[in-house]
C-alpha cells in the first residue's frame, strides 16, 4: 500500500494536550517517515478559551473576600489589560489587605507588573488570593472550611474534566454551601473536530482521538467523523507505544480506504463510555454555543451551568466590569490551534514569545503546542 | 493533563477510595463510577475516578508502564 | 488545601511541563518580563538564573562571584551561603534544621572543601512555639554532628506576626580546599563521564506531597543528607574529579545546563539510565512533573574522566549515600547545553524550567 498515494504526506491530527506533550517529550514525530505527518489541533482547553475568560477571572480575583482557585495551566495566560493599569494594581493590593492571613505584610503602593499583560500569576504576586489546586474537591472543601471567603473555581477543560466539576457543583449544592461558585468555560471536543474535518484549508486524513475524553464519551462520539466525513479515527492512550499503535491503525485505515473508529485504548475505553459521568454532566450543565480561539463560535460545543445551579454560577453571582477583550497583537495562536501553522513558523516564536514572556496562551499552557515545541526543542528538528 | 497510569484500589470508604500506583497513594472520589471493588484499578482525573478496570482489563496498560519501570 | 497561600522556592524544583526556557549561555529573551519579584524567581529555573545574572552579578560582579560555583573560592578557602524557607518545616525524611546544615555543607563539598564552620542566622516570627524551634535546632545539631562540622556563630531576629512564615534560616559556611582536589565546572572536558550518586527527585516530591492538597502519600521521603563523607572517599583515594554539583532547585536538568554552559561542552544524558525510585516516579506521573527538574538535597552530580568511572562508582557504592550511584551520561564537544536521549532513542535539548511548579489539568 503506497503511503503517499495522494501525492502528499498523510496528515493526522491529535486533539488532546496530553498527546501533544507526549509526542513532543518523546520526540516521537522524528521517528515517523516523511510520508506521515502528525499535527496538533485544538486539544489544549486553556489555549482555546478566549482571552475574555482570563479578564473575567482577574475581575473576580479583585473582589473583596474572593479566593480564586484554579488548575495551574491558567496562571500565566495573559489577559486583555496591560500592565500599567494602576487601578488594577491597587485593587489587588486592597484585596490582600483585607483577606490575607499574612496581615502584617505592607502592601505595595505603586506596583506595575510588566510591559506585558496582567495574568493570574501577576495578580497573585500583587496580593490577590489565587490558589492552584489539583481537584475541584479541594475548592469545595476550602469553601466549607472558610465560610467568610467567596470561593470561585475556574472551570476549564473538555469532557474529561467537566464531569469532575459537575460532581463538585452537585456536592456543594447538596451540602448547602453558599460561598462556592464556578466560572465555567468547559467545551466539548467532537464538534470542533467536525468543524476541522470539514475545513477547506486543512487536509486531515484522520484523527488521533483523545484517550480520556473517550473514556467518558465512548467511541461512538467519533463515529460521525468516520461515517460522515470519511476520516480515519483511532483512540489512543498516552504512552509512546500507544500513540504509535494509534498511528499505525490510522495509516492502515487510510490504506484500506475504510475509515472507522478504532479503539486502540481498549483497556480503558468502553462502548457506551461512562454513563454515570455523562449523567452528572447532563444534570449540571447544558450544551451552549461556545467561542473557540482560532475556530470561531461553534454551535453546541460549550457547557453552561443550568439554571437550577444558578446560585453556584460565578458569572451570575458577581457583577463585574469587564474590559473590551483584546487578543494580543501579532498572536497567531488561532492558526496554530487549527493545525495550519507550525509554532516554529510563527514570527513571534522564541523571540518575543517565550514561556517567561508569553504573548499567547499556546506558549504558556502546559499543553500548548507552542510550549511543547519550545520546551522539547528537538535536535535537528526538520 | 491526563494521568494515564491505572491505580489499584486499596481501600474504600463511602464515596472515596485510596488508590495506589508504584508505592504512591492518593485519595480519589468515586462520584463518577460505579461498582468499585478492592483490587480493581481506576483511571483518576482531577481527584475523581473516571473509569474502573478489572485487573485483567488494566493488564495491558500496566505492562506498558512496567516497561517504563513505573 | 491549607489556609495559607502558596509559597514558592525552597528546594522544590521547576516543573518541566510548564515549558522550560532556553538553555545555553547568553541566549535569552533579555530582561525578565516582570517588574515585581515573582515566586518563580526563587524556583531555580530560568527566572532565578536571570535574576541572579542580571540583578546581582551584574551589580556585584567580581571574579569569585562571576564563576557562580556552588561555593566561592578565596585562595585556600571556600565560602558559601544559603537561605532556607521550606514549607512545611517538617516533612518526611527531614526538616528545615537538617536541610539548613546539609544544603550548606554540600555546597562546600561540591567544591572539594572540608567544612571549617557554619554560621546560622535565624529570622523568627513572633508567635512561633519555642518547642518547634527546639525541634529544628536539635535536628540542626544532629546534622552538624553527622557532617563533622560545628555551628560556630549565629544571629537571631524576631519579626512581628505575619512578617515571615515561622522560621527563615540563612546558613553560611566556610571550608578549606586541598591542593589537588579542586573540582570546578571549567575543568569539565569532552569525553568525561557524568555520574549521579543516587536516585532523583526524592526531596522535591516529598515536600510537594506534604504541602499540596492532593493527598499524595506513600513511600516518599526527602533524601536530605550531608555529602562530605562520600566526597571524602573520592578525594582520599585520589580519584580525579573534574566537577561536582548538588542538583537542588531546578533539579538535575538545571545543574547540567549550567555546568555545560560554564564548561562550554555539550552534556548528553540517557533517560534509560536515570535512577528514580518507583514511588517517586509514580508521584511525578500523578503530579505531572519530570524527575529531571525536581529538587534533590542529598545527591551529587560527579563529572570525571571516563577512565575513572569504574573506580569512582565502586568507591561510592560502599557508602550509604552512594549505593545507588550510576552513570547517566557524558560530556561531548559541541554547542554548550544539555541533551536528553529519550527512551525511544530520540534526542532533545533540555531547557531551563520557566517559573514555579504548577500542577496541571486537561
| Exposed/middle/buried for residue A57 (C-beta within 10 Å: 0-12, 13-18, 19+) | buried
Contact C6 A132 (CB under 8 A): yes
| Exposed/middle/buried for residue C130 (C-beta within 10 Å: 0-12, 13-18, 19+) | exposed
CB A187 within 8 A of CB A292: yes
- Residue in A21, A103, A363 nearest the CB of C162: A103
Degrees, nearest 5: CA angle C226-C231-C235: 155
Please, how many CA atoms are within 13 Å of residue A143, restricted to the half-sphere of its CB?
Answer: 26
Under the banding of pLDDT at 50, 70 and 90, the label for residue A367 is confident
Q: Which residue of C has its CA nearest to A379?
A: C348
- Residue A104 scores a pLDDT above 60: no
Q: Which residue of B has its CA nearest to A136?
A: B46
Grid cell 524576631 is found at C158
Which residues in chain C are closer than 8 Å to A157, comparing Cβ atoms? Answer: 361-362
Degrees, nearest 5: CA angle C361-A125-C172: 100
Find, among C54, C47, C39, the residue nearest to C9 by Cα.
C39
Beta bridge partners of C339: C268, C349
- Residue in B1, B25, B45 nearest the CB of C217: B25
- Residue A172 scores a pLDDT above 50: yes
- Cell numbers at residue B66, please? 512496567
> Which are the contacts of A244, defined by CB distance < 8 A and separation ≥ 6?
A28, A31
> Which are the contacts of A43, defined by CB distance < 8 A and separation ≥ 6?
A14, A15, A16, A17, A18, A19, A20, A189, A210, A367
ipTM, interface predicted TM-score of the complex: 0.95
Contact B2 A211 (CB under 8 A): yes
- Cell numbers at residue A367, please? 499543553
Which pLDDT does position C23 carry in this prediction? 31
Task: Give me the torsion for CA of C47, C51, C53, C55, rounded to 10°.
Answer: 160
Please report, for residues C214, C296, C340, the alpha-carbon distance to residue C287 in angstroms, rounded to integers and kept in the order given. 9, 17, 21
- Cell numbers at residue A53, please? 475568560
- Cell numbers at residue C319, please? 557508602
Find, among C257, C228, C238, the residue nearest to C20 by Cα.
C257
Which pLDDT does position C4 carry in this prediction? 42
* Domain residue extents for chain B: 7-67
Contact A125 C36 (CB under 8 A): yes
Distance CA B62, CA A102 (A): 46
Distance CA C254, CA C247 (A): 7
| Interface list for chain A against chain B, based on CB atoms closer than 8 Å | 16-18, 21, 71, 134-138, 157, 160-161, 163-165, 167, 170-171, 210-212, 215-216, 237-239, 241-242, 266-268, 270, 274, 276-277, 280, 366-367
Residue C64 parent element (H or E):
helix C63-66
Mean pLDDT for C138-163 is 97
Q: Which CATH architecture has domain B7-67?
A: Roll (2.30)
- Cell numbers at residue B22, please? 508504584
Under the banding of pLDDT at 50, 70 and 90, the label for residue C245 is very high
Phi-psi region for residue A97, left (φ > 0), alpha (ψ -120 to 50) or beta? alpha
Beta-strand relationship, C326-332 and C77-84: unpaired
Distance CA A135, CA B26 (A): 12
Q: Which residue of C has its CA nearest to A358?
A: C33
Find, among C302, C324, C214, C217, the residue nearest to C255 by Cα.
C302
Give the minimum alpha-carbon distance from C29 to chain A in angstroms, rounded to a whole number. 7
Task: Give me the torsion for CA of A152, A156, A158, A161, rounded to 10°.
Answer: -40
E-only strand ranges, C137-296:
151-159, 167-176, 192-196, 217-218, 243-245, 266-270
Contact B58 A137 (CB under 8 A): no
E-only strand ranges, A75-160:
130-132, 150-155
Grid cell 570525571 is found at C304
Query: Over the stretch C53-85, which tens digit does the pLDDT of each residue have?
Result: 999 999 999 999 998 888 999 999 999 999 999
- Residue C17 scores a pLDDT above 60: no
- How many beta carbons lie within 10 A of that of residue C317, not counting itself? 14
Grid cell 552512594 is found at C322
CB A111 within 8 A of CB A83: no
| CA–centroid distance for B28 within its chain | 9
Question: Best mutation site among A17, A86, A132, A214 for testing chain C: the one with the most C CBs within 10 Å?
Answer: A132
Average pLDDT, chain C: 87
- Cell numbers at residue A51, please? 482571552
- Residue C20 scores a pLDDT above 70: no
Question: Best mutation site among B22, B28, B29 for testing chain C: the one with the most C CBs within 10 Å?
Answer: B22
Chains near C with 3+ CB pairs less than 8 A apart are A, B
Which pLDDT does position C34 carry in this prediction? 64
Q: Is A349 on the interface with C (CB under 8 A)?
A: no
Cβ contacts from B onto C, under 8 A: 60
Query: Over the stretch C195-243, which tens digit does the pLDDT of each residue have?
Result: 999 999 999 999 988 876 677 888 899 999 999 999 999 999 999 999 9
Under the banding of pLDDT at 50, 70 and 90, the label for residue A268 is very high
Beta bridge partners of A292: A296
- How many beta carbons lie within 10 A of that of residue A198, not counting itself? 11
- Residue in B1, B26, B44 nearest the CB of C362: B1
- Residue C356 scores a pLDDT above 90: no
Mean pLDDT for A138-146 is 96
Which residues in chain B are closer than 8 Å to C281, comparing Cβ atoms? Answer: 22, 69-70
- Residue in C22, C37, C38 nearest the CB of A121: C38
Peptide bond into A108 cis (omega under 30): no
- How many beta carbons lie within 10 A of that of residue C286, not counting itself? 25
- Residue C262 scores a pLDDT above 90: yes
Distance CA C85, CA C8 (A): 9
**Mapped to the 3 state alphabet, what secondary structure does A237-278 carry?**
CCCHHHHHHHHHHHHHHHHHCCCCEEECCCCCCCCCCCHHHH
Distance CA C362, CA C360 (A): 7
Contact C358 A72 (CB under 8 A): yes
Please report, for residues A359, A362, A371, B50, the alpha-carbon distance to residue A349 in angstroms, rounded to integers and kept in the order given. 9, 10, 10, 36
- Residue A110 scores a pLDDT above 70: no
Query: Over the stretch A275-306, which tens digit does the pLDDT of each residue have?
Result: 999 999 999 999 999 999 989 999 999 999 99
- Residue A217 scores a pLDDT above 50: yes
Beta bridge partners of B7: B42
- Residue A263 scores a pLDDT above 50: yes
Distance CA C288, CA C292 (A): 12
Find, among A142, A129, A98, A101, the residue nearest to C125 by Cα.
A101
Under the banding of pLDDT at 50, 70 and 90, the label for residue C29 is very low
Q: Which domains does chain A have, with CATH numbers?
A: 1-323 (3.40.50.11740), 333-375 (no CATH)
Which pLDDT does position C212 carry in this prediction? 61
Choice among A30-34, C37-41, C347-351 with the minimum mean pLDDT? C37-41
Q: What is the DSSP string of C8-71?
A: --TT----GGG--B--STT-S-SS-SBSS--GGGGSSSHHHHHHIIIIIIHHH--HHHHT--SS
Q: Which domains does chain C have, with CATH numbers?
A: 16-176 (3.30.1330.10), 185-349 (3.90.650.10)
Contact C361 B46 (CB under 8 A): yes
- Cell numbers at residue A115, please? 510591559
Contact C344 A212 (CB under 8 A): no
Q: Is A240 on the interface with C (CB under 8 A)?
A: yes
Residue A290 parent element (H or E):
strand A285-292
Q: pLDDT > 70: what percent of chain A?
A: 88
**3-class secondary structure, C103:** helix
Average pLDDT, chain A: 87
Q: Which residue of A has its CA nearest to C287?
A: A134
Amino acid at each position: 500500500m503506497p503511503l503517499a498515494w495522494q501525492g502528499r504526506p498523510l496528515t493526522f491530527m491529535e486533539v488532546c494536550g496530553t498527546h501533544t506533550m507526549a509526542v513532543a517529550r518523546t520526540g516521537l514525530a522524528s521517528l515517523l517517515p516523511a510520508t506521515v505527518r502528525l499535527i496538533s489541533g485544538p486539544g489544549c482547553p486553556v489555549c482555546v478559551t478566549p482571552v475574555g475568560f482570563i479578564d473575567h477571572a482577574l475581575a473576580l480575583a479583585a473582589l473583596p473576600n474572593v479566593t480564586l482557585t484554579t488548575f495551574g495551566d491558567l496562571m500565566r495566560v495573559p489577559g486583555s489589560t496591560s500592565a500599567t493599569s494602576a487601578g488594577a494594581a491597587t485593587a489587588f493590593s486592597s484585596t490582600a489587605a483585607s483577606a490575607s492571613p499574612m496581615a502584617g505584610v505592607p502592601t505595595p503602593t505603586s506596583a506595575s507588573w510588566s510591559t506585558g499583560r496582567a495574568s493570574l500569576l501577576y495578580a497573585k504576586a500583587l496580593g490577590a488570593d489565587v490558589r492552584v489546586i489539583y481537584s475541584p474537591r479541594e475548592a469545595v472543601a476550602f469553601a466549607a472550611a472558610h465560610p467568610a471567603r467567596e470561593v470561585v473555581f475556574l472551570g476549564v477543560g473538555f469532557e474529561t474534566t467537566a464531569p469532575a466539576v459537575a460532581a463538585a457543583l452537585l456536592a456543594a449544592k447538596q451540602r448547602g454551601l453558599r460561598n462556592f461558585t464556578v466560572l465555567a468555560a468547559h467545551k466539548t471536543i467532537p464538534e470542533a473536530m467536525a468543524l476541522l474535518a470539514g475545513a477547506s484549508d486543512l487536509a486531515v486524513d484522520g484523527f488521533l482521538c483523545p484517550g480520556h475524553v473517550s473514556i467518558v464519551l465512548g467511541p461512538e462520539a467519533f463515529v460521525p467523523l468516520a461515517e460522515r466525513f470519511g476520516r480515519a479515527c483511532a483512540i489512543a492512550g498516552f504512552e509512546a507505544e500507544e500513540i504509535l499503535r494509534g498511528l499505525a491503525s490510522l495509516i492502515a485505515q487510510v490504506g484500506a480506504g475504510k475509515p472507522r473508529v478504532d479503539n486502540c485504548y481498549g483497556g480503558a475505553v468502553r462502548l457506551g463510555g461512562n454513563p454515570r459521568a455523562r449523567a452528572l454532566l447532563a444534570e449540571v450543565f447544558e450544551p451552549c454555543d461556545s467561542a473557540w480561539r482560532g475556530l470561531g463560535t461553534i454551535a453546541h460545543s460549550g457547557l453552561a451551568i443550568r439554571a437550577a445551579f444558578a446560585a453556584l454560577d460565578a458569572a451570575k453571582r458577581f457583577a463585574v466590569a469587564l474590559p473590551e477583550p483584546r487578543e494580543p497583537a501579532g498572536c497567531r495562536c488561532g492558526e496554530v490551534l487549527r493545525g495550519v501553522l507550525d509554532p516554529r513558523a510563527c514570527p513571534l516564536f522564541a523571540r518575543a514569545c517565550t514561556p517567561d514572556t508569553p504573548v499567547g496562551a499556546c506558549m504558556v499552557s502546559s499543553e500548548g503546542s507552542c510550549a511543547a515545541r519550545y520546551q522539547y526543542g528537538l535536535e535537528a528538528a526538520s | 493533563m491526563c494521568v494515564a497510569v491505572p491505580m489499584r484500589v486499596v481501600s474504600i470508604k463511602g464515596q472515596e477510595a485510596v488508590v495506589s500506583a508504584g508505592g504512591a497513594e492518593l485519595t480519589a472520589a468515586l462520584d463518577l463510577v460505579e461498582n468499585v471493588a478492592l483490587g480493581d484499578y481506576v483511571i483518576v482525573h482531577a481527584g475523581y475516578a473516571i473509569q474502573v478496570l478489572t485487573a485483567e482489563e488494566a493488564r495491558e496498560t500496566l505492562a506498558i508502564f512496567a516497561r517504563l519501570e513505573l | 488545601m491549607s489556609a495559607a497561600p502558596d509559597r514558592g522556592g525552597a528546594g522544590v524544583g521547576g516543573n518541566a511541563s510548564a515549558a522550560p526556557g532556553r538553555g545555553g549561555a547568553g541566549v535569552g529573551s533579555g530582561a525578565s518580563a516582570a517588574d515585581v519579584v515573582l515566586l518563580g524567581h526563587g524556583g531555580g529555573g530560568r527566572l532565578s538564573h536571570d535574576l541572579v545574572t542580571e540583578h546581582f552579578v551584574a551589580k556585584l560582579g567580581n571574579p569569585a562571584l562571576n564563576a557562580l560555583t556552588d561555593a566561592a573560592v578565596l585562595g585556600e578557602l571556600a565560602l558559601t551561603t544559603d537561605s532556607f524557607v521550606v514549607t512545611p518545616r517538617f516533612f518526611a525524611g527531614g526538616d528545615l534544621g537538617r536541610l539548613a546544615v546539609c544544603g550548606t555543607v554540600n555546597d562546600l563539598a561540591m567544591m572539594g572543601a572540608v567544612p571549617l564552620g557554619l554560621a546560622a542566622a535565624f529570622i523568627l516570627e513572633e508567635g512561633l512555639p519555642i518547642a518547634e524551634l527546639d525541634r529544628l535546632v536539635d535536628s540542626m545539631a544532629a546534622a552538624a554532628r553527622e557532617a563533622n562540622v560545628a555551628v560556630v556563630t549565629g544571629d537571631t531576629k524576631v519579626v512581628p506576626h505575619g512578617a515571615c512564615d515561622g522560621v527563615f534560616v540563612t546558613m553560611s559556611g566556610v571550608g578549606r580546599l586541598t591542593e589537588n582536589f579542586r573540582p570546578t565546572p571549567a575543568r569539565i572536558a569532552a569525553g568525561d563521564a557524568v555520574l549521579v550518586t543516587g536516585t532523583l527527585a526524592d526531596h522535591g516530591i516529598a515536600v510537594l506531597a506534604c504541602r499540596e492538597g492532593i493527598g499524595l502519600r506513600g513511600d516518599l521521603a526527602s533524601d536530605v543528607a550531608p555529602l562530605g563523607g562520600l566526597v571524602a572517599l573520592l578525594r582520599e583515594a585520589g580519584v580525579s574529579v573534574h566537577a561536582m554539583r548538588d542538583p537542588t532547585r531546578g533539579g538535575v536538568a538545571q545543574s547540567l545546563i549550567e555546568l555545560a554552559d560554564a564548561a562550554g561542552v555539550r552534556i548528553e544524558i540517557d533517560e534509560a539510565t536515570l535512577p528514580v525510585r518507583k514511588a517517586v516516579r509514580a508521584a511525578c506521573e500523578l503530579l505531572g512533573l519530570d524527575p529531571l527538574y525536581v529538587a534533590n538535597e542529598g545527591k551529587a552530580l560527579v563529572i570525571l574522566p571516563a577512565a575513572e568511572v569504574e573506580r569512582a562508582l565502586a568507591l561510592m557504592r560502599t557508602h550509604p549515600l552512594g549505593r545507588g550511584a550510576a552513570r547517566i551520561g557524558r560530556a561531548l564537544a559541541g554547542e554548550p547545553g544539555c541533551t536528553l536521549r529519550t527512551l525511544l532513542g530520540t534526542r532533545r535539548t533540555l531547557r531551563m524550567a520557566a517559573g514555579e511548579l504548577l500542577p496541571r489539568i486537561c
